Structure 1
């Protein structure tokens, strides 16, 4: 017989609760609410958590131009090459959106220029932003 305290039971989230927490965290990433998102990570949310479409916190923050949030996520070890469910990489998304500063951060953090569909290299060529690839 296992002795489980009430605090142990409340620490485990069911699937619905987990989805809600991830959804809230994704909103914080999109909105650039770095301090609040950091608290989620400090309390155990994986830095590479993905939503139902496969987007990561980094992908959404990068796409929305949230420099401070992107910097924090990279500093926390976010995978700069993790693609979403459509095969898109964070770097390709920032090149598409014209987020020059964030593109530079991702390249400096080791983003793969040839990952994803289309690749960051192909996206840069489409939009005349090859100079952002380093």
Structure 2
């Protein structure tokens, strides 16, 4: 008799296709379909092979209704992907102000970094997203916080050639 192993069974094609469809729902903003699946027990913090949660995909792709549905189903706004990026940083990169507000209302840490070292403020500053910088500062983002290489949001913005955000951050009130 062969010894018993704890190897999980392989996933069949139907299961893999379902998983792909669920992640596509988040990317494409199919909020109603996601709400239906959450009501049937789908975990709100499901992640793909890159560590992107449903919330990260919805936020990054500008899907505000899907973002709201995922948050209301228990999606974790602080759950970072495998590169350490949070949904708030994804929204900052894409300049999705409505989604950033929604994430902040649902408890996203304004200076959250996951396992990465760049905050949403740093991301917004690097890409010259002045309204996003204002929003994040208004929610308490620390303009003096440093990344792993010791650079502030203003330093990163200057390095990327941002036109407005370096001066904006230099003028920001310090807490």
TM over 0.5: yes
Are the equivalent residues in 2 in contact too, given 1:53–1:85 (CA < 8 A)? yes
1:67 positional shift: 0.8
For residues 80-102 of structure 1, the C-alpha deviation after alignment (integer angstroms, 9 at most, x for no partner) is 00000111000000000010100
Are the equivalent residues in 2 in contact too, given 1:62–1:70 (CA < 8 A)? yes
- 2:113 aligned with 1:103: no
Q: Could you tell me how far apart the structure 2 residues matched to 1:132 and 1:23 are?
A: 34
- 2:88 aligned with 1:83: no
Q: Calculate the aligned-residue CA RMSD, in Å.
A: 1.8
Unmatched tracts of structure 2, length 5 or more = 1-8, 140-175
Residues 40, 64 of structure 1: alpha-carbon distance in 2 compared, 3 angstrom cutoff: same
1:18 positional shift: 4.3
Q: Could you tell me how far apart the structure 2 residues matched to 1:83 and 1:18 are?
A: 25
Unmatched tracts of structure 1, length 5 or more = 1-12
Which has the greater radius of gyration? Answer: 2
TM-score (norm 1): 0.82
Equivalent residue for 1:15?
A: 11
How many aligned residue pairs are there?
Answer: 122
- 2:66 aligned with 1:63: no
Query: Which is bigger in relative contact order (C-alpha 8 A, separation at least 6)?
Result: 1
Q: Whose helix fraction is larger, Structure 1's or Structure 2's?
A: 1
Equivalent residue for 1:131?
A: 134
TM-score (norm 2): 0.64
Are the equivalent residues in 1 in contact too, given 2:45–2:75 (CA < 8 A)? yes
Are the equivalent residues in 2 in contact too, given 1:55–1:83 (CA < 8 A)? yes
1:125 positional shift: 2.6
Are the equivalent residues in 2 in contact too, given 1:22–1:50 (CA < 8 A)? no
